[in-house]
Structure 1
Amino acid sequence: MTRIWINRAGPSRVHAMRMLRNNPDGHPVIIHATRTNSSNPSQMFCDVPGWEPGGEASDEEYGQFVVDYVRDHGIRVIIPTARMAALSARTEDLAALGCTVMASSYEVSSTADSKTETYALARDLGIPVPPHHLVYDSVQFRDAVMQLRSQGYIACVKPDTGWAASSFRIIEDGATDLRALLTSARPVVDMETYATALVKARQQGERIPGLIVMPFLEEPEVSVDVLSTPQGQPLVTVPRAKSGWYREFREDRKVINIAHRLVKGFPLGYLSNVQMRYLHGEPVLLEVNPRASAGTFHTEGAGVNLYWEAVKVALGMEVSVRPQLGGRVFLTEEARMVPALPR
């Protein structure tokens, strides 16, 4: 019986729990999942739900919480969702307790958390990256947008660190005209609205995070899930291109080579995800996630259970699966019964 802990487990990790329970080796597991609140779906589908500290906890405080939790519950493997730096900093302490964190080193996790630092490393590795500008105020922001426009690009903006999906915006003037309001919502904002928000934030003493301004890159977006050794040697690679409701498993050697060079160059251990889009018809790096992506479960369509194979790596077991590329999967919504909330 192997006890596996998924920290900061969100709804997408419910799929991970299913895959781990239904692992092809029939290996028994007990799945712990912690969250800052008890209403998250992950708390209803794991075997042992639990609480964890939120963003108010420092890396040191969170790391100590992790060590205590592992000691108290006999955890063998941690599948991290967040607080990568805090977890990576305590890998030796956790190893002494017989627990493996499926995470890269502290230095690697910190570098991967910054898109500009990731781009600098990628450039040193000879990997193509998009033109980009790191800005901290309205003047720098306007200058960056205008420079990209002068080069024929549509600009977009997102935070340099952290998960940027919800903060991503395409910069389009006239974004709130009637035609835009009568079509499907897009994450757009005009340049002056964004710049004004930066000015107000500065006046009110708010902290402005580093923002990366870059071209809005061409489709498709390709997300490459890679399982590797702790030293960054790729073992299983599944590229999946987004195409509406479909995910296509493409055997694209350019994309696969870029992902492998990044995984080896960082190096990234266990599960990681490399995202790419296209610039002038060629793939360029979008970002790197040193963790399992939310869509890792899509790779079941390529005939691999990546979550279980990653746990096998953490347990020192051999991995020999090969993905079946060339097919595609169709994404659907699924309704699941859950226990009634207490009145």
Structure 2
Amino acid sequence: MRVWFNRSFSSVHTAIELIRQADREGRFTILHTNPNPKSPVARLAHEFQSEPTGLATADYIDWCVAFCREQRVDIFVPGREATAIAGAHARFEAVGTRVQSAASEAALQLIHDKARFYAETDLPAAPVAEFRHFEDAAGFEAAYDGLRRRHAKLCVKPSHSIYGLGFAVLDEERNSAELLMAGAEYHVSLGDFRAGLEKLGTFRSMLLMEFLEGREYSVDCVGDGGRLVTAVVRRKSGQAGAGQRIDQRADILQATAQLCASHGLNGIFNVQFREAGGKPRLLEINPRMSGGIGMACVAGPNLPYISLRGFADGYDGLEITPVRDGIRVAELARAVELA
């Protein structure tokens, strides 16, 4: 079977490597496209081709459909433009290609809009942090006045973002220079932030939220159209170099299964939680592979291979390695030669 991974996040390298390790029968021929011919993934895939840049979404989908037809792609695992591609499955089916989208187009749009996602989420096992939405300085002040009365520490982040870009804890004591000198990452001076909002006028949609002080958990999952097939829970450490602990907490797995069912999640996805008062609270769903997918797979299940093999043949009867709960894992960088 010919399987295409288009341009995606850096974790696609790990995913393809894990699939090739597990595919002892040689069933899958992996294709990868990227605008950068020096991408390390170009050496790892069975076949590599360049991908166009600068195309509008509709034009890019046209290119993808043509690529699938010309390259006889059986399964397409989209990274770039994954949300729009999820709404075009019929076009790909017409040329003989099945698309493994993480969810429907509507579900992906909801997941990516954190303000709407938080407002609509009902998850008693791991409720979202209390939040307010704002788009101007006056909206921030109203939100701050309401939340600060109930929470000692608040944070901000954009409604639409990846990799935690734009997230910051509001520091009420120090200015920006003091925070810089202290090396306080992901912190912003409340006074400087307020002054900046006044100068901006209006800006992109933002969230003001209670800051959750507890430990963070990252759950790497495989779903089958809303059924949680398997999941690995990684508990992150606050100590540099200490790695992460595999911690298969029943309450976190229960919350993850509920989210999978509620949003019809499919293939590989990731869910982030953080503790408050010893109870998990939902941070977000990432409808894609996480950067830590390799660490999760050290614990047993080869998630990229399970996801692809299950999508190709069905999950019934698929042997899934049990998770080695309690082990500590880490990820090491390695150097490679580029072609």
1:283 offset after TM fit, Å?
0.7
Stretch deviating more after TM superposition (275-284 or 192-201)? 192-201
Cα 1:215–1:12 change in 2 (3 A) is: same
1:53 offset after TM fit, Å?
4.7
Instruction: Give the corresponding residue for 2:232.
Output: 238
Stretch deviating more after TM superposition (328-337 or 106-115)? 328-337
CA distance in 2, matches of 1:339, 1:164: 26
Q: With structure 1 as the length reference, what TM-score do the two structures score?
A: 0.87
Does the Cα contact within 8 Å between 1:148 and 1:154 map onto a contact in 2? no
Structure 1 letter corresponding to 2:265: L
Instruction: Give the corresponding residue for 1:323.
Output: 322
1:254 offset after TM fit, Å?
0.6
For 1:18-57, list aligned pairs within 5 A.
Answer: 18-23=17-22, 25-53=24-52, 57=55
CA distance in 1, matches of 2:249, 2:236: 14
Secondary structure at the counterpart of residue 94 of structure 1: helix
Stretch deviating more after TM superposition (120-129 or 169-178)? 120-129
Instruction: Give the corresponding residue for 1:218.
Output: 213
1:308 offset after TM fit, Å?
0.6
After TM superposition, what 4+ stretches of structure 1 lie above 6 angstroms from structure 2? none
| Post-superposition CA distance 1:124-180 (Å, at most 9, x none) | 7775111011111122123323433322332111111231512211211315354x4
Percentage of pairs with the same residue = 23
1:25 offset after TM fit, Å?
4.3
- Aligned alpha-carbon RMSD (Å): 2.4
Structure 2 letter corresponding to 1:219: G
Aligned residues: 332
Instruction: Give the corresponding residue for 2:4.
Output: 5
Aligned counterpart for 1:296 among listed residues 293, 304, 314: 293
Secondary structure at the counterpart of residue 10 of structure 2: coil
CA distance in 2, matches of 1:248, 1:126: 21
CA distance in 2, matches of 1:154, 1:301: 36
The gaps in structure 2 that reach 5 residues or longer are none
Aligned counterpart for 2:59 among listed residues 35, 56, 61: 61
The gaps in structure 1 that reach 5 residues or longer are none
For 1:157-172, list aligned pairs within 5 A.
Answer: 157-172=156-171
Cα 1:316–1:266 change in 2 (3 A) is: same
Cα 1:10–1:84 change in 2 (3 A) is: closer
Structure 2 letter corresponding to 1:93: R
Does the Cα contact within 8 Å between 1:142 and 1:191 map onto a contact in 2? no
Structure 2 letter corresponding to 1:137: D
Structure 1 letter corresponding to 2:156: V
CA distance in 2, matches of 1:315, 1:175: 55
Instruction: Give the corresponding residue for 2:275.
Output: 278
CA distance in 1, matches of 2:75, 2:181: 49
Does the Cα contact within 8 Å between 1:141 and 1:213 map onto a contact in 2? yes
| Post-superposition CA distance 1:220-278 (Å, at most 9, x none) | 1111122111x211111111111144221112111000000010011211111111111
CA distance in 1, matches of 2:220, 2:337: 30
CA distance in 2, matches of 1:324, 1:332: 18
Instruction: Give the corresponding residue for 1:96.
Output: 94
Instruction: Give the corresponding residue for 1:256.
Output: 253
Does the Cα contact within 8 Å between 1:301 and 1:328 map onto a contact in 2? no
Stretch deviating more after TM superposition (13-22 or 28-37)? 28-37
Aligned counterpart for 2:262 among listed residues 257, 262, 265: 265
For 1:198-209, list aligned pairs within 5 A.
Answer: 198-202=197-201, 208-209=203-204
